[in-house]
Structures are given as structure tokens and as C-alpha cells.
């Protein structure tokens, strides 16, 4: 898989986190830490169990 150079340069500055949608406390924790919900992959784990991907640029104030 090829990554565009500009994106590759940013890969050291971002931190993606993935959690199952039913873990409300875990999702709240990452939101409080300044992570933003970016993607919801429906039924990723099994029927009714979505995967949520959070994203945060490292070094940001929030």
C-alpha cells in the first residue's frame, strides 16, 4: 500500500484509536482527551456491533 508523501509526513503527528461502539465509557474518555470521532464502521465486529475510529493530532492543545 502506498501512502502519499504529505500524508506519510503527518502519520507521526496523528494518533487514531478504534473502539467498539457499545463501550460508551471508553468513547467518553477519548472524547474528553480531545479525540474526535471520525468514522463509524457499521457491524464491523458482528451484527449490531459497530467500530468507532477516533482521531487526534498529537501536540494539539485539546
Q: Dump pLDDT digits (tens) for 2-32.
A: 445 554 555 556 677 778 767 888 888 989 9
More confident residue, 6 or 58: 58
DSSP string covering the chain, please? ----HHHHHHGGGEEEEEEETT-HHHHHHHHHTT-EEEEEEEEEEETTEEEEEEEEETT---
Instruction: Please check whether residue 26 is in contact with residue 37, taking contact to mean a CB–CB distance below 8 angstroms.
Output: no
pLDDT at 1: 44
Amino acid at each position: 500500500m502506498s501512502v502519499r508523501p504529505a500524508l506519510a509526513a503527518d502519520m507521526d503527528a496523528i494518533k487514531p484509536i478504534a473502539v467498539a461502539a457499545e463501550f460508551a465509557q471508553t468513547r467518553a474518555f477519548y472524547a474528553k482527551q480531545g479525540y474526535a470521532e471520525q468514522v463509524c464502521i457499521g457491524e464491523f465486529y458482528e451484527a449490531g456491533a459497530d467500530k468507532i475510529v477516533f482521531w487526534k493530532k498529537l501536540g494539539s492543545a485539546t
